[in-house]
């Protein structure tokens, strides 16, 4: 099974890309905040979008490393512990 390296970083600001908050364009990855800033710098909610992307990173990291939901299955005991 291949190793999971996550979704990568934004090529412009370097923030970690989370599911649903990035866009690949011409071989580069952009977070949604940087993409909107490049395409429409006069967007009225630009600061709110940047804050949402930054908050999504911290929430995603906490959810990814939660051991309450993703614990190891209880299987047969190893030979050494019998």
Task: Identify whether 26 is part of a domain.
Answer: yes
Average pLDDT over the chain, rounded to an integer: 77
Task: Identify whether 65 is part of a domain.
Answer: no
Task: Identify whether 3 is part of a domain.
Answer: yes
Task: Identify whether 74 is part of a domain.
Answer: no
Number of domains in the chain: 1
Residue of higher predicted confidence among 78 and 20: 20
- Flag whether pLDDT at 2 surpasses 50: no
Task: Identify whether 20 is part of a domain.
Answer: yes
CA distance 14 to 12: 6
Task: Identify whether 79 is part of a domain.
Answer: no
Tokens standing for residue 68:
């309450």
- Helix (H) / strand (E) containing 35: helix 32-39
Tell me the residue ranges of DSSP E strands in 14-63: 22-25, 28-31
Structural domain of 14: 1-56
pLDDT digits (tens, 9 = 90+) for 37-58: 989 889 899 899 989 988 888 7
Taking the model in full, what pTM does it have? 0.64
- Quick one: pLDDT at residue 21? 86
Task: Identify whether 64 is part of a domain.
Answer: no
């Amino acid at each position: 099974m291949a190793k999971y390296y996550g979704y990568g970083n934004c090529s412009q600001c370097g923030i970690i890309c989370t599911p649903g908050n990035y866009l690949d364009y011409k071989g580069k990855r952009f977070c949604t905040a940087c993409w909107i800033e490049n395409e429409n710098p006069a967007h009225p909610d630009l600061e709110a979008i940047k804050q949402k992307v930054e908050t999504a990173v911290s929430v995603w990291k906490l959810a990814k490393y939660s051991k309450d939901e993703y614990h190891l299955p209880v299987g047969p005991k190893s030979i050494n512990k019998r």
